[in-house]
Amino acid sequence: MQKPASTISAKSAFARPFPGKTVATAAAKPASNPEWDLIEQLPMRRVGMFFLLGFLFLRVTALHELLATKIGLNTRILYLFGPPAILFMFLSGGFQRALRYRPPRLWLGLLICLYLSSVFSYWRSDSLSLAWSYTRAEIMTLVLIAGLAYTMKDFWRIMMTLAAAGFVNIVLSIIFVAETAGDRMRRDFGTMGNANDFAAHLIYILPFIGLVLFTRRSIVIRLAAGGMCLIGLYRILSTGSRGAFVALLVTFAFTFWRASIRQKVFLSMGTALMGMLLLALLPSTVATRLKTVFMSAEEEMMATGSEAYESRMSRAHLLKRSIYLTLTHPLLGVGPGQFMYVENEDAKEQTGKKGSWHVTHNAYTQISSEMGIPAAILYLGALWTTFLMLNRVHRLAVRQPPSVTWDRIAISSYCILVSMVGFGTACFFLSLGYAYHFPLITGLTVVLYHIAERESQREEWRKANAAAAQPALPKPPVLQQLRQPFNRAR
């Protein structure tokens, strides 16, 4: 009996995110999978997509935070989009689809560790409050994207929504800007109002604007996207965030490594020109602060004074303290959001002086010290498997014959990879372990991977059907078959 199409797809060479056996396609296959068609046409899923796009736009632009800050009233506008999207996601069976691959399951394991750690936390009620907020606002982003988006059209709408959110972010960074010590710029509202956090957020969102730059045909839209990218880069540098500066350098190294020889030449020339121009436009104090990345501690002290030097020493001290608390609380950590309190109590016991009263300024040790080593392994595992899936999708897509679907898969996977590398580097210097950014990338990856999986299976079916449609050639007589080797030898 012939296996159903869904079974064949699940065992194809590409469909397995991790090594497995390849199942050959022996006979002609149907042109489409009825299950796929059914999910694509589900009315509840399609309505849920509308609420998902609104939710993502508000979440990434932080317009709800802007309204709360400037008007002084919490409009709770997110509730107009979030709960309906969650409802339609569950009604359309999206939760099961969201967990079809390993990275979302690792995030789910992390969520379980989060609640276990909260139960045994230094301050239980505060940790449980953080855990609930992380569940409904951060992890739910992953589940909504992976559960509601299904077709390439759905995925492309999400990418364009994120690009539009990037445009709005940069415009808001021009309008609502505040100046801190040392001429550093920051956004004056929202949870990403800190200069360092906002710089990392812009690094995260700029590749989605770059997607518009390289895919749109309209010269006006492409010029607008290019201008926004330049303004965004300037805003990142104007924050004076050295962690963001390092992230930009790592992102450049990644893109340079993945580029062809011709692309490397243009990339090097363009980056050098833009770098010199942007650094020349920066205030001298900010430019000097960024240059201290390449200086020793003594040279930094002489160049910038005490502020930048003390910041570096404080970050190094917090890194050591977070590693220490990780090793002394290896199983469940000190509790989500409790690092500064426990670090202060521990410092009083050891030295009789108060602690630093700062967060870890490292997302990875933030997870390990507050939730334990098992949670850190799940966190890093989710990121690594997401990266592997994205990389595999991109490598598969660039080997395919040119088509609209495969071209969009290739450029989208590359832009998401760049975003992940840049933001992941910035997280070495920021306490953004509980932010929505990484779960959102995993959600996009799951959708894109499944689209590429189905497209790859359709290609196999087309080839099998084409081979089955060709008429069989008549066999030559026996004597002619015997003579063929001798004729070839002549």
Supply the pLDDT for residue 28: 45
The yes-or-no verdict on residue 479 having pLDDT over 80 is no
Mean pLDDT of the region 463-473? 67
Helices of type H across 329-428: 339-351, 363-371, 373-398, 404-426
Per-residue pLDDT tens for 204-231?
999 999 999 988 888 999 999 999 999 9
Mean pLDDT of the region 93-99? 91
CA distance linking residue 359 with residue 322, whole number of Å: 9
Mean pLDDT of the region 320-337? 93
Q: How many helical (H) and strand (E) elements, i.e. helices and strands, does the chain have?
A: 23, 2
C-beta of residue 240 within 8 angstroms of C-beta of residue 411: no
The yes-or-no verdict on residue 22 having pLDDT over 50 is no
The yes-or-no verdict on residue 334 having pLDDT over 90 is yes
Supply the pLDDT for residue 16: 40
C-beta of residue 52 within 8 angstroms of C-beta of residue 46: no
C-beta of residue 134 within 8 angstroms of C-beta of residue 118: no
The yes-or-no verdict on residue 11 having pLDDT over 80 is no
Nearest-CA neighbor of 374 among 138, 121, 131, 110? 110
Please state the pTM of the whole predicted model.
0.86
Helix pair 306-328, 297-304: axis angle to 10 deg:
140
Q: Which two tokens stand for residue 120?
A: 């045994």
The yes-or-no verdict on residue 466 having pLDDT over 80 is no
More confident residue, 436 or 489: 436
The yes-or-no verdict on residue 453 having pLDDT over 50 is yes
Q: Which of 76-90, 104-118, 263-277 has the lowest mean pLDDT?
A: 263-277
Provide the β-strand partners of residue 177.
187
**pLDDT above 90 coverage of the chain, percent:** 52
CA distance linking residue 442 with residue 460, whole number of Å: 27
The yes-or-no verdict on residue 6 having pLDDT over 60 is no
Confidence tier at 281 by pLDDT (50, 70, 90)? confident
187: phi then psi, degrees, rounded to nearest 5: -85, 135
Supply the pLDDT for residue 20: 36
Alpha-carbon Rg of the chain, whole angstroms?
26
Distances (CA, A) of 109 to 328, 447, 449: 22, 20, 21
More confident residue, 346 or 473: 346
Q: Which of 215-224, 260-269, 338-347 has the lowest mean pLDDT?
A: 260-269
Distances (CA, A) of 428 to 211, 237, 240, 242, 247: 26, 17, 16, 11, 9
152: phi then psi, degrees, rounded to nearest 5: -65, -35
Domain boundaries in the chain? 40-461
The yes-or-no verdict on residue 10 having pLDDT over 60 is no
How many residues are there in the chain? 490
Of 27-31, 53-57, 183-187, the range with the highest mean pLDDT is 53-57
Supply the pLDDT for residue 212: 93
CA distance linking residue 396 with residue 453, whole number of Å: 10
More confident residue, 129 or 304: 129
Supply the pLDDT for residue 14: 37
Per-residue pLDDT tens for 417-433?
999 999 999 999 999 99
Supply the pLDDT for residue 26: 41
Q: CB within 8 A of 399, min separation 6: which ones?
A: none
CA distance linking residue 259 with residue 372, whole number of Å: 38
The yes-or-no verdict on residue 388 having pLDDT over 90 is yes
Confidence tier at 301 by pLDDT (50, 70, 90)? low
More confident residue, 361 or 30: 361
Mean pLDDT of the region 1-16? 37
Mean of all residue pLDDT scores within the chain: 84
Supply the pLDDT for residue 27: 45
Per-residue pLDDT tens for 159-199?
999 999 999 999 998 888 887 766 788 888 878 888 899 99
C-beta of residue 195 within 8 angstroms of C-beta of residue 182: no
The yes-or-no verdict on residue 53 having pLDDT over 90 is yes
Q: Which two tokens stand for residue 196?
A: 């360092």
The yes-or-no verdict on residue 303 having pLDDT over 90 is no
The yes-or-no verdict on residue 480 having pLDDT over 50 is no
Q: Scanning the structure block, which residue is given the tokens 């004729």?
A: 487
Supply the pLDDT for residue 251: 94
Supply the pLDDT for residue 305: 62
Confidence tier at 482 by pLDDT (50, 70, 90)? very low
The yes-or-no verdict on residue 394 having pLDDT over 90 is yes
Measured from the Cβ of residue 466, the count of other Cβ atoms closer than 10 Å reads 10
- Give the CA dihedral 57, 58, 59, 63, nearest 10 degrees: 130
Confidence tier at 390 by pLDDT (50, 70, 90)? very high
More confident residue, 421 or 459: 421
Confidence tier at 307 by pLDDT (50, 70, 90)? low
Residue 432 identity = L
Say how far residue 150 (Cα) sits from the centre of its chain.
18
